Amino acid sequence: MKRLLIANRGEIACRIIRAARSLGIETVAVYSEADAGALHVEMADQAVCLGPPPAAQSYLKHEALIEAAQATGGEAIHPGYGFLSESASFARAVADAGLTWIGPAPDTIADMGDKGRARALAIKAGVPVLPGSESFAEGALDGLEAAGDAVGFPLLVKATAGGGGIGMQRVDDPAKLRKIAERTQSAAARSFGDGSVFLERFIARARHIEIQVFGFGDGRAVHLHERDCSLQRRFQKVVEESPAPQLDRAIVVRMGEVACALASAVNYSGAGTVEFVLDADTGAFFFLEMNTRIQVEHPVSELVTGTDLVAAQLRLAAGDDIYDDLGGRAPNGHAVECRLYAENPEKKFLPSPGTLERFSLPDGLEGVRVDTGVREGDTITPFYDPMIAKIIAWGESRDEALERINAALRATHVEGLATNRDFLIAITSNPTFRSGEVWTGFIDTHLDALLSAQSG
């Protein structure tokens, strides 16, 4: 592989460019008119404009992306995360054009992207799943109430094609089930082009644990341990870490085994994540979904295993047998990642687009890594996700990692727009969080104290 087109933007595009460069692979960036001066465009060897700022007119245009690869001599396409990273139709179009798709096979993406089929495959592979229902197509809700009674309340109405917390609503009152299901179907149709939903049991005191897997497309698969992604706001991850604090290692071992069993069963190829919900009271865990792409939080796994997952994706796609390089890596130390967003915690975390009039990141701090796709003077536009940077810290222990990331956040300075920096400092300073007591309701439970601490 000599030249790679990156069908993405921002932080993840820059991350892929660095990995490709380490392997001697040239890169082609793509950009919308809003990103003409973006960092990923400057870093790449070549760059192609796709169209106007809205993603539907630029980053989501299948034909334009494939034409850009062909016109620049690109041999492969890496989709990053978000945008078209889990589009089976785009993966097929890439392969049909004679290009290499950096990711699993299109049929695998389609199977694992449909939550109903993914559940069925998980059950077949021996992975425990939450009580749930069959899918209900948009506008077809016959039998919904009976299904709700069978699943039990509280429950979640979830978009079959959803992801990232989009298209998911909790229902506590059976009388509100139909109205919420209709609303979720409409939202899912707008976001994913598929309005079908299903019901799934909701665990009140839950932890969100995921296993980083890597498959080789031939039935072999390994895992690179777990990540705890329990600190969430509206089902969106805020802080991630590895290893998971205060979690019985026997549970983690079993999670790794069943995650690999699922990846093997579908002949998974490349980096992927098997996500579980764990009952914090009983220790029982259940399959949530499989993400068929690199994750935003992959750096914490890289830091505790000494692995470059993006480089591994590229090497596998180029035909290298990297099984021995990835298998059996024991975790070393502890890593924590915080997502720095252009958002205002004081105003219900509303996005805060604007210009980075001052943007200073920590430099030279031991054990600290920063992944970003912007520089001082750049603009965070309303067109795309408002993440500014990922700040990651590694330490010999969890306490050391938390001290380092707290110091890194305090050494981060942004002016010109609102950010969640102080909110992240409040989280990583919070005594309850420091003790390792984490669950998906942590932020909601402690929200007033966290907001008060960030303004103190």
Is residue 265 within 8 A of residue 126, CB to CB? The reply is no
CA pair distance 323, 220, nearest whole angstrom: 8
CA pair distance 332, 240, nearest whole angstrom: 16
In the residue annotation, 21 being an active-site residue is answered as: no
CA pair distance 349, 165, nearest whole angstrom: 15
**407 in helix, strand or coil?**
helix
CA pair distance 294, 12, nearest whole angstrom: 9
CA pair distance 312, 214, nearest whole angstrom: 9
Is residue 51 within 8 A of residue 33, CB to CB? The reply is yes
Within 8 A by CB and 6+ apart from 128, the residues are 258, 284, 285, 286, 287
Of these residues, 207, 293, 339, 369, which one is catalytic? 293
Cβ neighbourhood burial of 396 (10 Å; 0-12, 13-18, 19+): exposed
Report DSSP letters for 363-402, one per residue: -S-TTEEEEES--TT-EE-TTS--EEEEEEEEESSHHHHH
Burial profile 133-145: b = 16 or more Cβ within 10 angstroms, e = fewer: bebbebeebeebe
CA pair distance 3, 308, nearest whole angstrom: 19
Largest CA distance in the chain: 60
- Tell me, what DSSP letter sits at residue 136? B
- Report residue 182: phi and psi, to 5°: -65, -40
Question: Would you state the structure tokens that stand for residue 307, as one six-digit string?
Answer: 């692995």
Report DSSP letters for 67-79, one per residue: HHHHHTT--EEE-
**Which active-site residues does the annotation give?**
293
